[in-house]
Copies of this chain bind each other. A is one copy, B any other.
């Protein structure tokens, strides 16, 4: 009986899964650990100045670990972006599902999500901007971002179309409003990144609400929204 069998013996859940499954699990955990470390480093030092050594050190592991699990630095960053996008999408879906199934509520929920402290956090925004900064020269980065944006636009446009139909609003289009809404959050994040001192979550949310109230007065009556 060796060290290995000892572990397998005591952990019945492990025992039921195959040995390779356990390895895979461990492997996935390490990858996740390294991606998390990469995010922290990118937030602190930027994409261009983050070295594989930084990431390994942040994870408390050794030099060679990144190449062992990701084959290359490029790949690590690629997977990191994918992870960020997946995470964002999950939270997006979750916000939709948790809200009341009304277009106005959902739109409101999505806007609030984008300004929520865990997403509209300067460190995380810095990471997004770090990747966006390389989008032009890295087609693969662009594709991941584009796909996420497309989904965001599609959903928002759908909700706006619904509201416009419901409210019989004139002079506006779902496409136009969703374009504005999508743009606003990006613009607010930029302010949070560049002028953190003048950025104020409340004011930002107020600006969005003012907009929604002006444009969809029937769905977002004044004072209907409270914090």
Name A's B-contacting residues (CB within 8 A).
Answer: 43-49, 122-123, 126, 129-138, 142, 145-146, 149-150, 171-173, 175-177, 179-180, 182-188, 190-191, 193-195, 198, 203-204, 206-208, 210-211, 213-215, 222
Contacts and interface: CB of A to CB of B under 8 A. Distances in A.
Nearest to A197: B146
Nearest to A141: B194
Contacts of A198: 150
Nearest to A170: B222
Tell me the interface secondary structure of chain A in the complex.
helix
Copies of this protein, total:
4
B171 A222 contact: yes
Residue among A48, A149, A204, A222 facing the most chain B CB atoms (10 A cut-off): A48
A176 B206 contact: yes
Contacts of A173: 206, 210
Q: Which of A44, A122, A185, A188 has the most CB of B within 10 A?
A: A188
Which 8 pairs, one residue from A and one from B, show the smallest C-beta to C-beta distance? A183-B187, A133-B133, A48-B48, A126-B136, A186-B187, A46-B137, A176-B207, A179-B207
